[in-house]
A and B are shown apart, each in its own frame.
Chain A
Amino acid sequence: MTATLTPSRAAARPARGGFAQLLHAEWTKFRTVRGWVASSVGAVLVICLVGLLATAAGNQSGPEGTSALPVGPGGQAVNDSFYFVHQPLQGDGTITVSVSSLTGVVATDPKSSRPGLAPWAKAGIIVKDGLDQGSAYAAMMLTGAHGVRMQYDYTHDIAGAAGRATREQPVWLRLQRSGDTVTGYQSTDGTKWTEVGSARLSGLSATAQVGLFVASPSVEEKTGTGTGFAPAVATGAFDQVDLGGRWSAGSWQQRQVSDGAGTSGSYSQTTKGQAVATGSGFTVTGAGDIAPVVGGPATSGVRTIENFLVGAFAGLIIMVVVGAGYITVEYRRGLIGVTLAASPRRGRVLVAKALVVGSIAFVVGLVSAAVMVPFGGQRSESNGFPVLTVPSGTELRVVVGTGLLLAVASVLALAVGTILRRSAVAITVVVVGMVLPYLLATASVLPDGASEWLLRVTPAAGFAIQQSVARYEQVVTVYAPGSGYFPLAPWSGFAVLCAYAAVAFAVAVVLLRRRDV
C-alpha cells in the first residue's frame, strides 16, 4: 500500500520552493526574538565602541607635525626618503655607473655611532617620475647584504647577482629608459651586461629625474627587552657616471628627497645627507628608504585600518553567542521537534539556519567595518595620527572580510551548538578555540613562535583577513602577530577558519540526521 500511494520522488520533493519556505521560516524565527535582534545591533555598537576606545587619543598626542604618509602608484603608503643627485632626462636615454663601495654608520646613542650597514641600505641609480614623494620610479642598486637588485614602484623587487663591491671589483649598474619602459642591467666589467629586469611605468613623464641615490633604513637592534631600530646612514662611492640621451648639459643637482622622517629611519644628530664630487663620480651619503611602509615598531605613531577594527573580536563573541543560541534554545525547549516535524529534511534546516545567522553576522561585521574604517581614520588623523594608506582592494578585503569573519564564526558556533546541544558549552568551545588564541597571540604575551603557531592551527587564523599591512622581503621590521602580521596570508588564514566551520557543519548535519530528536 505504501508503495502504491507514495508519489514519485520528483513529485514529492520539489526542492527550490521548499527551501525558500524554510529560509523564510528561519528568518521569521530570528527576527521575532528581540534578544537576537538587539544582540546583533549591539554587536555593531560594541565593535565601533571598542575600536574608538582603543584608538582614542586621550592625553597623548600624535607625533609632532606628522603629515600623511606619501602614497605610491599602487595605492599604498610608502617611504620615499633618500639623498638624490639628479638632473632631468628628456625622453629616452641611459645612465651607467660603477659602485666601488657601500659603507655605513649606525647611531648607538644620540651623540655617538659605530660602523655598520643596514642589510637593505641602497646605493644606485634611479629613473623617477618627479621629485614628489610617492612618484613612480625604477632603480638599480647595490644593497648592504642582498647584492644587486632592481626595484620599482616601491613594492617590486628583482634580485640580481649577489656580492659586494670593492675598489678592485666595482659593480656596474645601468638603467635604460625607452618610452614607459625602464630596463635594468648589471655588469662586472662595464662591457658585458646582463639584464636584471624591466619595469613598465605607465604615464612616466617625458622629462624624468634621473641620477644617483643612497638610502639606508634604520638598523634592527636586538636588545634584552626586544627589537629596536637605530638610525643609520650609508655612503656609496660612484666612480664613474656615463650618460646617454638628451641630458641638461651636465648640471647635477643634489637634495634630500623628503625631509620628514617617514617610518624608515633618518639621520642621527651627527650625520647628514650629502654628495661630494670625486673626479668623474660622486660619494653620496643618505638615510631613509624607498619602500612600502610596513607595520611594526617603526610605525608606532601611525595607525593601520585594522586598528579601528580591534573591537571585531567582541562583536564576534556576541554573534557566536547568537549563533549557538539559535539552535541550542530549540533543544532546551524541545522546539527542535516542532522545527523538524515542520521540515523533515534536517540537513536543509541547518543550512537555512546557517544562511540566516551567517548573513546577519556578515551584515554586522560589514556595517561595523564600513563605519569604523573611514570614521576611525578621519578621527585619528584629526588627532595627529596618520593612517597607513592601503590599496582600495585591500581596504575592501578588510571591510568585507570582517563581515565574512563574523559570518563564518557564527556558523561555526551554530554547528558546534548543534553537535553539543548546550549553549554554554558550545560558546565556551568557540570562544576558547578562536577568540582566546587570537587575543593571546596578538597581545604579545606569548613568544612569537607560539603566537604564530596558534594563528596557523586554530580558527583564530581567520582574523588574518583583517590584516591590511603587507609583508615585504625587502623591508625589515618585526613581522610578528604582535605588530599586526599573521603567519598566514589573509585568505589562507580565513580558509583555515572556513575549514573548521565546514568540518563542524558536516558533523552537525550528520548528527542531526542520525539522532532521534
Chain B
Amino acid sequence: MEKTIDESEATIEVSDVRKRFGSTQALDGMTFTVRPGQVTGFVGPNGAGKSTTMRVILGLDKPDAGTATVGGRPYRDLRTPLTHIGALLDAAAVQPSRSARHHLLWLAHSQGLNAGRVDAVLRQAGLQDVAQRKAGGFSLGMRQRLGIAAALLGDPPVVMLDEPFNGLDPEGFMWMRGFLASLAAQGRAVLVSSHLMSELQDTADHVVVVGRGKVLADMSVRELLESMSEGRVTLRTSARNDAMTVLARAGATVSSTGTDTISVTGMPAENVVSLLGAHAVPFSEVSSHRASLEEAYMELTRDSVQYRGMMPEEAGR
C-alpha cells in the first residue's frame, strides 16, 4: 500500500456508452469520469444501468456504441488487469468448494502475483482467520470482504465496487466506509455504486446520479446540495386562493397540496412571509425544507424509477 498512485492511471472514463438488451435500452449515452483521490458514488434506482456500466468497464459486456477506458486504456488491452483496476461486481461469484485463500491464489497467479500478496489482502480484509475455510460457507458479509480482498490483490490505482454495503452489519458498514475513504486518501480512484443515496451520504465526495441508462447529475456532493438548496416552502393558510395569487404574481411557483396547504418553490421562506404580510393574507404555518441529499436524489430520479411501488391511494384510482 506504500505504492504511490500515478494519477493518470487512476481514472475511469465512460463515454457515450449505449447498450440494448432486447427491447430494453439499458445504457443510453452513459458518460462520466471517475477521478483519482476521491470516492465517487454511482447512484441510481434499480435498473438504472449501474451494474451494466461496470460490466462494460470490465469488458464483460460489449457496448453497442461508446467507449470505456481504465487509466486511458480499453480494458481488453490491459495485460494484468487486476493491477489496473480491482472490482467487486458479485460477491457470490466464488466456487463454494474452494477455500477463500485458494480463490485469491488462482486470481493472483493469473496476474503473475505470488502467494505473499494473497496473505496481505486477506489481512487487509480481515479474513486471515477464515482463509482456509470454503467460500461456500461464508455469510454475505464475509463474501463481500473476500470480494474486496480480490479487488485489492493487484494493488490497483482504481477500485470499483458494486453495492458493497449490501449485507453488511453496522460494524461492517462503518469499516467499509472508512476503508473506502482510506483508498481515496491514497490517491486511488474509487467508484462505489448504490441504489440508496443514504449509504453514500457520508462516504462519497462526488456523485454520478443515473437513471434509465444515462447520467442525471455528475457533481460533487456539495454542489448537488447547493443546487437544491433553494428548497421548498410549505404554507398553511385559510385563504388558499389569495395566497396563491399573490405569490404567483411575485414570480414563485405555487401549487396546491391540500384544502389549506400550498407548496411554494423559487422563493425563500422570508420573502414568502413578508409578501403575505404586505398583502394581509393570513397564514397559520410556514415551514422551509432544505433539501437533503436523499431528497435531491429522489427529485432527480423521480422520472426514471422503473419499478416504483404504488401508494395505496394511487392503487385505488
Contact = CB atoms under 8 A, between A and B. Distances in A.
Q: How large is the interface on A (under 10, 10 to 19, 20 to 34, 35 or more residues)?
A: 35 or more
Nearest to B62: A516
B75 A334 contact: no
A185 B93 CA distance: 78
Nearest to A26: B106
B94 A335 contact: yes
Interface stretch (B109-117, B290-298, B306-314): B109-117
Dominant secondary structure at the A interface: helix
A32 interface: yes
Interface string B48-90: 0000000100111110000101011111111111100001011
Contacts of B72: 1-2, 4-6
A297 B74 CA distance: 67
B106 A516 contact: no
Contact of A28 (B13, B61, B82, B102): B102
A2 B106 contact: no
B99 interface: yes
Given A2-B74, A5-B72, A32-B106, A517 B61 contact: yes
A35 interface: yes
B124 interface: no
A517 B75 CA distance: 15
A329 B92 CA distance: 13
B59 A333 contact: no
Contacts, number: 113
A71 B27 CA distance: 75
B105 A338 contact: no
Nearest to B136: A333
A12 B77 contact: yes
B95 interface: yes
Nearest to B21: A516
Contacts of B93: 333-335, 337-338
Which interface residue of B80, B90, B93 has the most chain A CB atoms within 10 A? B93
A24 B69 contact: no
A32 B92 contact: no
B150 interface: yes
Interface in A234-260: none
A340 B59 CA distance: 8
A257 B58 CA distance: 79
Interface residues of B, number: 42
A329 B13 CA distance: 33
Contacts of A337: 55, 58, 60, 89-90, 93
Contact of A342 (B71, B73, B74, B110): B110
Contact of B81 (A17, A344, A517): A344
Contact of A33 (B58, B62, B92, B97): B97
B154 to A, nearest CB: 9
B8 A32 contact: no
A338 B228 CA distance: 40
A343 B110 contact: yes
Contacts of A330: 95
B131 to A, nearest CB: 12
B137 interface: no
Contact of B96 (A21, A25, A333, A343): A333
B98 interface: yes
Which interface residue of A6, A342, A345 has the most chain B CB atoms within 10 A? A342
Contacts of B75: 344
B60 A341 contact: yes
A190 interface: no
A5 B73 contact: yes
A14 B60 contact: no
Interface in A15-31: 17-18, 21-22, 24-29
B60 A18 contact: no
Contacts of A343: 81, 110
B26 to A, nearest CB: 11
B61 A32 contact: no
Given A340-B60, A341-B60, A32 B74 contact: no
B303 to A, nearest CB: 28
B90 A17 contact: no
A69 B180 CA distance: 79
A89 B60 CA distance: 82
A165 to B, nearest CB: 76
Contact of B76 (A2, A14, A26, A344): A344
B261 to A, nearest CB: 50
A111 interface: no
Contacts of B8: 5
A228 B61 CA distance: 65
Contacts of A334: 90, 92-93
Contacts of B77: 6-7, 12-13
A25 B109 contact: yes
Contacts of A329: 95
A7 B194 CA distance: 34
A222 interface: no
Interface in A316-351: 329-330, 333-335, 337-345
B97 A34 contact: yes
B252 interface: no
B107 interface: yes
Given A2-B74, A341-B87, A21 B94 contact: no
B59 A29 contact: no
Contact of A345 (B13, B76, B87, B89): B76
Nearest to A340: B60
B211 to A, nearest CB: 22
Interface in A80-128: none
B98 A33 contact: yes
Contacts of B76: 344-345
A13 B58 CA distance: 17
A64 B55 CA distance: 73
Contacts of B92: 333-334
B112 A21 contact: yes
Contacts of B99: 32
A25 B106 contact: yes
B177 to A, nearest CB: 25
Nearest to A513: B62
Interface string A63-83: 000000000000000000000
Given A5-B73, A7-B73, A25-B109, A338 B150 contact: yes
8 contacts: A1-B72, A6-B73, A12-B79, A33-B98, A35-B97, A516-B60, A516-B61, A517-B60
Interface of A: 1-2, 4-7, 12-14, 17-18, 21-22, 24-29, 32-35, 329-330, 333-335, 337-345, 516-517
Interface of B: 8, 13, 55, 58-62, 67, 69, 71-82, 87, 89-90, 92-99, 102, 105-107, 109-112, 150
Top 9 nearest A-B pairs (CB, nearest first) are: A5-B72, A25-B110, A32-B102, A334-B93, A28-B106, A25-B109, A516-B61, A517-B60, A24-B109
Given A6-B74, A21-B111, A21-B112, 6 more contacts: A2-B74, A34-B97, A337-B58, A338-B150, A341-B60, A343-B110
